[in-house]
Amino acid sequence: MKKRDKVRFILEELERMYPDAACSLTLDGNSFHFLVRAILSAQCTDKKVNELTDTLFEKYPDILDFAAAEQKVLGEEIRSCGLFRAKSKAIIATSFILAERFGGEIPSSSEDLISLPGVGRKVANLIRGELFGIPGIVVDTHCARVAKRLGLTSSNHPAQIERDLSACIPKDKWITLGHRFVAHGRALCAARRPACDHCSLGEVCLYANRS
């Protein structure tokens, strides 16, 4: 099968399997809240982040509340999300920068987003896609694993994986593709023991056809 046909098949199958795949971090209409959740989601499940922030945002409803937070206190409050020292430091610093340099608004350019502490390429693409509808591929652990197994990349490095996927996937599919890779990684293509017998992508999957 030609690469173009293989990509089309994968996209169609993922759409059929996960028609409603969407970001599992809560989007409550407050852009800053979403940014905080995205920072907290590093090496933590979205479910855990959503639960924790439900109460966290009662104490710190806005940017200035986080900017005025005591790092040690905030760190304890987010401890269960992991990397709590680095995350509390990043959230406070980012809140300051947003208030001082961006008028309290979340910027939309990659460059500005990546300049914020706690925001890397993955979070920047997530923010751009979810808050601004700007196409970008969010390469998280599920996306990286599924893309490599399917032979859409041979790299383990997020930046290269993003380049490889961007080169073969139509731009208007980039946002939903990331969500569908995550859904597939959770539902069937687990890191350990993927359920290939139940997966309709088997015929085009390098991993399933390895000798």
Residues making up the chain, counted from first to last: 211
Measured from the CB atom, the residue of 124 and 144 that comes closer to ligand SF4 is 144
CB of 210 to ligand SF4, least distance (A): 9
Name the residue type at position 140: D
Nearest to 135 by CA among 171, 89, 91: 171
Distance CA 111, CA 29 (A): 23
Q: 3-state class of 133 per DSSP?
A: coil
> Which residues are catalytic, by number?
122, 140
Measured from the CB atom, the residue of 30 and 200 that comes closer to ligand SF4 is 200
Question: Residues interacting with ligand SF4, by CB under 6 A?
Answer: 146, 149-150, 188-189, 194-196, 199, 201-202, 205, 207-208
CB of 162 to ligand SF4, least distance (A): 19
Measured from the CB atom, the residue of 73 and 195 that comes closer to ligand SF4 is 195
CB of 202 to ligand SF4, least distance (A): 4
> Half-sphere exposure of 29 toward its Cβ, with a 13 Å CA cutoff?
0
